[in-house]
Amino acid sequence: MGRYFGTDGVRGEAGVRLTGELAYRLGRFFGGYCARRAAYEDKRARILVGKDTRLSSYVLEYALSAGIAASGADACLLHVTTTPSLSYLAGTGDYAGGVMISASHNPYPDNGIKLFDASGEKLSESLEAEAEAYLDGEEPQFPHQTGDRLGKIMDAGGKRQAYLSHLLACVGGLDLSGRKIALDCANGSTWRFAPALFRSLGAAVTVLGDSPTGTNINLACGSTHPDALCRAVLREECDVGFAFDGDGDRCIAVDGEGRVVDGDGMLYLSACRMKARGELGSDGVVGTHMTNGGLEAALARQGIVLTRTDVGDRYVHERMKEGGYCLGGEPSGHLIFSRHASTGDGMLTALLVCEAIAQEGLPLSRLVAGYRPRPQLTRSLRLASPAGILSHPRAREALAREGDTLAATGGRLLVRPSGTEPLLRIMCEGEDSRQLVQVADALQEVFLEIAKEEP
């Protein structure tokens, strides 16, 4: 990770780390880069700009767009939309790239800027490094354009319908008449799109998290807080429920019995169906180091190999491209179906799960019955310098000791800095739940002691 870019673009507290000035400069870089490339083809660069429902997204949208136009590219505003919609539209239209303003599942004071290339894929790490150098003044600055070389800022909200049509085409002929579905839109980007999409297929829809105020995105709702959805599914006697995150690239499901089915469960369902249909290709799927060991075992019983990569859907997608995989995902609910998308897409995932329920004639609980997750404990510690803590000798000693403790009983330990927040993530996995708590407690105590000693 660089000074500005993490695992999912630039992210930080809006107005503190992520300011309008920084957004303008990032727009100047991306607009200038795209305009320069377009000049070789004797045309003007057009860049899509989308945002989620955070209050700060408006400031960042206009600052970023002004920077794009000042560098000679056109900023085409999608307004409130999802990250996967921007990715899809950037890759299918005559666009030089796209920018999504969102901090995904983070609380509302945070925001972020994600950059996409003309294929709708997240910007390469090498180009992010160029952007870092530009922001630090280490690379030549793009000139302010004048006269008719200035870019324009224009409305492109109507383009969102093409993405919704694409989703419907992915499940052509799906009829959800008679189905009761609950949706939690996290007061975020999906709040208008998802309910209309499922109702258009005939479903009776119960909606939560569809009243964004600018300050309530992800607040006790959405994919990171599925409890309210679980209660709604039981209360309304729904067949299934789906919770999205702030920008719509994640999906967590709830079965008809009110139980959460996370990304690993839906990855199992999808992998088994795709293999049975001859659509899995390499008979393998891509997960991450956070993927539950129970999923690896369940897939193996079906003759499907799990390949692990670093945490983050960009790394899942990169590994899928390298190995020719058709399916990949994370427990957090990022699922990538490469036949349809190059990034995680919560609404697409929900539609494909509904398609499985309808075509198999089975409830979600039955479709994931072959997967039993191993006990897993996760904790997040908010620390000023998570990476610095891990480099401390006492931390390394504790990690080795506790890792050996879990490994002795067939368990796993993963401790990593978050790529999107100042958090240290602790994941312990094994069959003895009490041992997992003991290991997590021991590590937490060491990490917090080191943090107190830091100047």
Which residues are catalytic, by number?
104
> Strand 204-208 to strand 180-184: parallel, antiparallel, or no bridges (unpaired)?
parallel
Q: How far apart are CA 78 and CA 371, in angstroms?
A: 39
Q: How far apart are CA 283 and CA 285, in angstroms?
A: 7
Helices 125-135 and 20-39 meet at what angle, rounded to 10? 120
Q: How far apart are CA 402 and CA 391, in angstroms?
A: 16
Answer whether 47's CB lies under 8 Å from 36's CB: no
Which structure tokens are listed for 186?
């996290």
Amino acid at 57: S
Which structure tokens are listed for 2?
């660089």
| Contact residues for 177 (Cβ-Cβ < 8 A; gap 6+) | 201, 202, 203
Q: How far apart are CA 386 and CA 382, in angstroms?
A: 8
Answer whether 112's CB lies under 8 Å from 18's CB: yes
| Count of C-beta atoms within a 10 Å radius of residue 452 | 6
Q: How far apart are CA 180 and CA 240, in angstroms?
A: 7
